[in-house]
DNA sequence: TGTACATCAGTGAACGCGCGTTCACTGATGTAC
DNA sequence: TGTACATCAGTGAACGCGCGTTCACTGATGTAC
């Protein structure tokens, strides 16, 4: 199996991202992916042991990119409500550009194959948020963080459905922190 | 096709509810359902035109029961934060008893077959919540309501995973309204 | 009351097809001598 | 520089099986006369 950075492997993942839509990772077919990537079906199995492996890789890559974006946006801000909002909006901006977000948030959670990866991903974002809630002196910062992540995800799905930023929704989001 | 209240039809739906777990409506097989219900495979198609129809019926029945529960709990309380919390906790209590909740919330949204039914269901709960946010004089009550429903759903999933009520999580939920 | 016929929920073997996976083969690139 | 061989990403036809759907049939219940 070729190394991770292989161009063909990337092309397959790119094609998967392009095809992931409408909350349905489960309906992502190997045939579709190889057609969109313009490679033979066998090539798929040169790079991924199974379809499940492919889905996990797709999911990871997607969220790794988002996580980088969040970290960059927060920069050197001190922990607290401003940093939480900055990171959350960066997340929403990142999602807006990705029509695959619905598949990644909903489809992924429903796909038994990658539930472990999804749990890890949720824990990762929740941990980021928990630091902010702790700095804000909220009681039960871990619980608040988990709920906050759920709420931001709901906002991301709404924006993905609308296909654009929803400013009133973002204001409502902020209002829950006041 | 027999009428709606047919005992066999109910047995099939009961079996489906029992089998729906781990967020995976997509992996609910007709074979599994008829085995669990103790009827022949052909009987399934006496009562449902397609597998999709069955999933929609399962989803509706589940949420109708929850909705009834919420309405009863709210009773004659005036609109406002107390009524919102009362209804939300009733929702969580109802979910706790149903291990199928994860499938219904996550699996359903990911299943293209029943997305329309899911949207309608979300709108229904959001409308209930919006009335409360409006009474609470929140700006953008519809937006707040949508986010709130997402947050409560996240709490429901957490409790379903834990298999019990999570009091600190419920306190965190309340804290977002203060 | 008894006989013939209609209705219809229920049955389960069989069908067909979609789709993930395999595998023998190709052809380009690299290495040894 | 040329020849032989090894490596390995890429190919695509073929396989096999899981699963939704069909359909000819059964047997119980109801109705007509």
- How many domains are there within chain B? 1
- DSSP state for residue A78 in the 8-state scheme: P
Does residue B134 lie in a domain region?
Answer: yes
Chain B nearest CA to A111, separation (Å): 7
Full pLDDT tens readout for chain A, 178 residues: 787 789 999 999 999 999 987 657 888 999 999 999 999 999 999 999 999 999 999 999 999 999 999 999 988 999 999 999 999 999 999 998 888 888 888 878 878 778 889 889 999 999 999 999 999 999 999 999 999 999 999 999 999 989 999 999 999 999 999 8
Distant-in-sequence, close-in-space partners of B73: CB < 8 Å, separation ≥ 6: B86, B87, B89, B90
Residue A150: CATH number of its domain: 1.10.357.10
Does residue A15 lie in a domain region?
Answer: no
Q: Across all residues in chain B, what is the average pLDDT?
A: 93
Scanning every strand, the nucleotide with its C1' closest to B9's CA turns out to be C9
Does residue A33 lie in a domain region?
Answer: no
Does residue A19 lie in a domain region?
Answer: no
> By percentage, how much of chain B surpasses pLDDT 90?
75
SS3 category, B7: helix
> By percentage, how much of chain A surpasses pLDDT 90?
75
- DSSP state for residue B84 in the 8-state scheme: H
Between CA A20 and CA A26 the distance in angstroms is: 9
Where in the sequence is the domain holding A99, given as residue range(s)? 52-177
The set of residues with CB closer than 7 Å to nucleic strand D is: A 1-2, 6-9, 39-43, 45-47; B 29-31, 41-42, 44-45, 50-52
- How far is Cα of residue A138 from the mean position of the Cα atoms in its chain? 26
Interchain proximity B158–A140, CB inside 8 Å: no
Does residue A143 lie in a domain region?
Answer: yes
Q: CA B41 → C1' C12, Å?
A: 7
Does residue B12 lie in a domain region?
Answer: no
Does residue A87 lie in a domain region?
Answer: yes
Kindly list the residues from chain B whose CB atom is less than 8 angstroms away from the CB atom of residue A154: 146-147, 149-151, 153
Between CA B14 and CA A76 the distance in angstroms is: 54
Per residue in A22-45, pLDDT tens? 657 888 999 999 999 999 999 999
Does residue A103 lie in a domain region?
Answer: yes
């Amino acid at each position: 199996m070729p190394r991770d950075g292989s161009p063909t492997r990337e092309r397959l993942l790119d094609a998967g991202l392009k095809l992931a839509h409408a909350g349905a990772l489960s309906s992502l077919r190997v045939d579709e992916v190889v057609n969109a990537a313009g490679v033979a079906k066998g090539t798929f199995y040169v790079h991924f042991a199974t379809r499940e492996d492919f889905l996990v890789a797709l999911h990871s890559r997607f969220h790794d990119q988002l996580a980088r974006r969040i970290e960059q946006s927060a920069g050197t801000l001190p922990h607290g409500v401003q940093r939480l909002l900055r990171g959350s909006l960066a997340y929403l901006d990142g999602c807006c550009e990705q029509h695959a977000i619905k598949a990644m948030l909903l489809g992924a959670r429903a796909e038994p194959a990658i539930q472990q990866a999804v749990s890890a991903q949720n824990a990762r974002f929740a941990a980021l948020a928990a630091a902010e809630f702790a700095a804000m002196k909220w009681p039960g910062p871990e619980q608040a963080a988990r709920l906050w992540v759920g709420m931001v995800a709901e906002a991301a799905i709404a924006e993905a459905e609308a296909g654009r930023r929803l400013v009133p929704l973002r204001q409502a989001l902020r209002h829950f922190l006041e």
